[in-house]
DNA sequence: AGGTACACGTGATGC
DNA sequence: TGCATCACGTGTACC
């Protein structure tokens, strides 16, 4: 109604205007602030800001969910737990009980550390050493520890010739190939 | 000006009104959609929605950043390559400096294998053994190999008392806590 | 009552 | 010329 229920004294009307101005200003500022948080925002009209914000939030939430799942996986119980949560998934649901050997290789300058965690078996060490020899590595030190009744934990420190350096990946792969065929 | 520069024919004026209505409706809908994405939102006025959205986005972005860093750490930090045919990417672009010790624990029946790969340092072995003693473990065998000039690779086989069994996770965690405070 | 919040119609501006 | 977007003042409703 033009002027029935809403009677307002002049100062009230002015207050109203000012208040509304302030409200708009606040919202406007937040739109600006929000825009700054949305990457790759080209149009800055309200609808676009809101739309892109919605998309961005969805994307972020999805990403967080994924990363957290991954994080859970890592911290989940496995037979092997490596500190720094840097772990290899060893939990093998589909695997057969005849556990395959685990082979790990590290390279430091021209030295290489090779570690094999495997089933106790006749002649394993010899085969490993032969394999290492094939790779032109010189053994500097080695240790063979018996773990329980059935497992062996072998660690070897070796030296690489300068003219024949390998990446850790290649190394582990070659060792695996060499070892698997005799198990 | 009341009616100088802005002359509008009746249907134009009506179009204007309708268009504006549509625009407002769109924005309004997006506010609703946005509200649904913000957890723990109590007030639903525009200012609050925008404010909480801003906060939520910041929080999400922070979280993503953290998780991604952690993820990088996990996938990159080490030069370790474990077999199981699952290739680890070893490429380390953002590698960090002072490598923390890597602690690994395995449990087999009442035996436990503990392996620590860390910087060469005075008294490391003693501290480890003390820590192991604190955990009521009995050392059966151990090996300390020097890897290059700066690294140590220590492997220990120990026995757990039946009445004090630990999970590998607890074990590694306790060892880490015990070790980190002296590095 | 006094404060807060909203939707509306309207004039202005920029492509 | 139109079309889209905005800020404004205003009426209204809720507590």
Q: Is B14 in the same domain as B61?
A: yes
Q: How far is CA B46 from the centre of its chain?
A: 34
Q: Is A42 in the same domain as A104?
A: no
Examine the fold and report which residue of B75, B95, B110 is the final residue of a domain before the chain moves on. Answer: B75
Query: Mean per-residue pLDDT for A93-104?
Result: 56
Tokens of A103: 């082979």
Contact partners, residue A178, CB within 8 Å, separation at least 6: A127, A131, A134
Adjacent-strand bridge partners of B155: B115, B143
Query: Mean per-residue pLDDT for B47-70?
Result: 93
Inside any domain, residue B4: no
Neighbours of B134 (CB within 10 A): 11
Q: Is A82 in the same domain as A69?
A: no
Inside any domain, residue A60: yes
How many domains does chain B divide into? 2
Q: Is A26 in the same domain as A59?
A: yes
Inside any domain, residue B19: yes
Query: How large a percentage of chain A has pLDDT more than 70?
Result: 71
Q: Is B119 in the same domain as B146?
A: yes
pLDDT tens digits for range A53-79: 999 999 999 999 988 887 765 443 333
Examine the fold and report which residue of A22, A40, A75 is the final residue of a domain before the chain moves on. Answer: A75
Inside any domain, residue B60: yes
Does nucleic acid strand D have an atom less than 7 angstroms from the CB of A32?
no
Q: Is the pLDDT of residue B83 over 60?
A: no
Say if B88 is an interface residue toward chain A (CB within 8 Å): yes
CB contact under 8 A, B155 and A143: yes
Q: Is B69 in the same domain as B52?
A: yes
Examine the fold and report which residue of B52, B75, B98 is the final residue of a domain before the chain moves on. Answer: B75
pLDDT value at residue A75: 45
Inside any domain, residue A162: yes
Q: Is B61 in the same domain as B109?
A: no
- The minimal CB distance from B47 to the residues A30, A58, A106 is found for A30
Q: Is B158 in the same domain as B70?
A: no
Does nucleic acid strand D have an atom less than 7 angstroms from the CB of A28?
yes
Q: Is B26 in the same domain as B50?
A: yes
Inside any domain, residue B126: yes
Q: Is B174 in the same domain as B85?
A: yes
Q: Is the pLDDT of residue A107 over 90?
A: no
pLDDT tens digits for range B92-132: 333 334 456 778 877 777 788 888 888 887 777 777 888 88
Inside any domain, residue B128: yes
Quote the CA–CA distance of B41 and B44 in Å, as a whole number: 7
What's the CATH number where A175 sits? 3.30.70.260
Q: Is the pLDDT of residue B77 over 80?
A: no
A85, A75 Cβ separation under 8 angstroms: yes
Which residues of A are less than 8 Å from B45 in CB distance? none
Tokens of B118: 């860390």
Quote the CA–CA distance of A117 and A96 in Å, as a whole number: 17
Q: Is B18 in the same domain as B90?
A: no
A48, B68 Cβ separation under 8 angstroms: no
Say if A32 is an interface residue toward chain B (CB within 8 Å): no
Query: How large a percentage of chain A has pLDDT more than 90?
Result: 27
pLDDT value at residue A21: 95
Quote the CA–CA distance of B183 and B100 in Å, as a whole number: 9
Say if A72 is an interface residue toward chain B (CB within 8 Å): no
What does pTM read for this prediction? Answer: 0.52
Q: Is B42 in the same domain as B103?
A: no
B90, B81 Cβ separation under 8 angstroms: yes
Q: Is the pLDDT of residue B58 over 90?
A: yes
What is the bridge-based pairing of β-strands B111-119 and A81-82?
unpaired
pLDDT value at residue A100: 67
Domain extent at residue A60? 10-75
Best to test chain A binding among B131, B147, B176 (most A CBs inside 10 Å): B147
CB contact under 8 A, A85 and B74: yes
Q: Which of A11-20, B68-77, B85-94 has the lowest mean pLDDT?
A: B85-94
Inside any domain, residue A2: no
Q: Is the pLDDT of residue B177 over 90?
A: no
Which residues of B are less than 8 Å from A104 in CB distance? 80-83
What's the CATH number where B41 sits? 4.10.280
pLDDT tens digits for range A9-49: 777 788 899 999 999 999 999 999 999 999 999 999 999 99
**DSSP states of chain A as a string?**
--SSS----HHHHHHHHHHHHHHHHHHHHHHHHHHHHSTT----SHHHHHHHHHHHHHHHHHHHHHHHHHHHHHHS--S-EEGGG-------SS--SSPPPEEEEEEETTEEEEEEEEE--TTHHHHHHHHHHHTTEEEEEEEEEEETTTEEEEEEEEEE-TTS---HHHHHHHHHHHHHTT-
Q: Is the pLDDT of residue B80 over 60?
A: no
């Amino acid at each position: 109604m033009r002027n029935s229920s809403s009677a307002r004294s002049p100062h009230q009307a002015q207050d109203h205007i000012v208040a509304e101005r302030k409200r708009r200003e606040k919202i406007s500022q937040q739109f600006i602030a929000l825009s700054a948080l949305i990457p790759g925002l080209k149009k800055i009209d309200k609808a676009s800001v809101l739309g892109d914000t919605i998309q961005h939030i969805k994307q972020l939430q999805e990403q967080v969910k994924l990363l957290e799942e991954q994080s859970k996986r890592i911290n989940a119980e496995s037979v092997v737990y490596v500190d720094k949560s840097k772990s290899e998934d060893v939990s093998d649901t589909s695997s057969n009980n005849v556990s395959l050997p685990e082979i790990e290789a590290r390279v430091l300058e021209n030295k290489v550390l090779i570690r094999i965690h495997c089933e106790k078996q006749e002649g394993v060490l010899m085969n490993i050493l032969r394999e290492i020899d094939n790779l032109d590595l010189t053994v500097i030190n080695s240790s063979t520890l018996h773990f329980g009744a059935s497992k062996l934990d072998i660690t070897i420190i070796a030296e690489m010739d300068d003219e024949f350096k390998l990446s850790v990946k290649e190394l582990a792969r070659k060792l695996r190939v060499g070892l698997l065929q005799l198990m």
